[in-house]
Amino acid sequence: MMKEAYVSDQNFENTDCIQFPLDRGEYENCTFRNYSFEYADLSGFKFTDCDFIGCNLSMAKLINTAFRDVVFKECKMFGLQFSDCNEFGLSFKFESCLLNNSIFYKTVIKKTLFKDTKLTEVDFEQCDLSGSVFSSCDFTGAVFQNTNLEKADLRTSFHYSIDPNINRLKKAKFSLSEVHGLLYKLDIQIEGNS
């Protein structure tokens, strides 16, 4: 059996993971900048205190991948199965990312920060997002079903459709201008004062 790599305090820039694959193992306090992981197999990798900046991780395999205190900034991350990740210590934050068609089904990611991120058609079904902050996020077509959004802050986010009858929303924060995203199932008209 091959020994897994341990890499710390390294910078990886302007490279393609398919042409120049990373050694499977643990990466700690590393920065990946403009690095393409598109369609890469990151199964079993461990990333701790790492930053991914301007990277493309679209369609990467994440079976038992560990993300612990990881920051994703300005990353393209289409079609990722976060539900396949290693659950132990799973924690990350997203800033100015494209997470379209990604799946967080049944993940426990409390107090996660999503900032200026597109979450188009993302699956949050049965996810625990309690205490999370969604700052200026676009939820067009995102799925919320049996999702825990207690104490979550969605005040600056938009285009969500969340059914209060099948999701936990206690003490969650929403803006008045987007309240129709909570009332859409009632088939009523909401009009502003003019």
- How much is the pLDDT for 3? 74
- How much is the pLDDT for 18? 75
Neighbours of 135 (CB within 10 A): 15
Looking at residue 120, its amino acid is T
C-alpha of 128 from chain center = 12
Which residues, other chains included, contact 187 with Cβ-Cβ below 8 Å and sequence gap of 6+?
none
- How much is the pLDDT for 58? 97
- Reference 99, options 56, 42, 69; nearest CA is 56
User: ∠ CA(14), CA(18), CA(22), 5° rounding?
Assistant: 75
Element (H, E) at 183: helix 180-183
**What string of pLDDT tens digits covers the 194 residues of the chain?**
557 899 999 999 988 877 778 899 999 999 999 999 999 999 999 999 999 999 999 999 999 999 999 999 999 999 999 999 999 999 999 999 999 999 999 999 999 999 999 999 999 999 999 999 999 999 999 999 999 999 999 999 999 999 999 999 999 998 877 776 665 665 655 566 54
Q: For residues 177 and 159, give the distance between their C-alpha atoms in angstroms, rounded to a whole number.
A: 11
Q: What is the pTM of this model?
A: 0.92
Q: For residues 17 and 85, give the distance between their C-alpha atoms in angstroms, rounded to a whole number.
A: 19
The 8-class DSSP code of residue 21 comes to P
88-100 as b/e: b if 16+ CB within 10 A:
eebebbbbebbbb
Paired tokens of 166: 């099948």
Residues 112-118: contacts with CB under 8 Å, at least 24 apart:
none
- How much is the pLDDT for 191? 60
- How much is the pLDDT for 21? 83
Q: Is 106 exposed, middle or buried (0-12, 13-18, 19+ CB in 10 A)?
A: middle
Q: For residues 50 and 29, give the distance between their C-alpha atoms in angstroms, rounded to a whole number.
A: 5
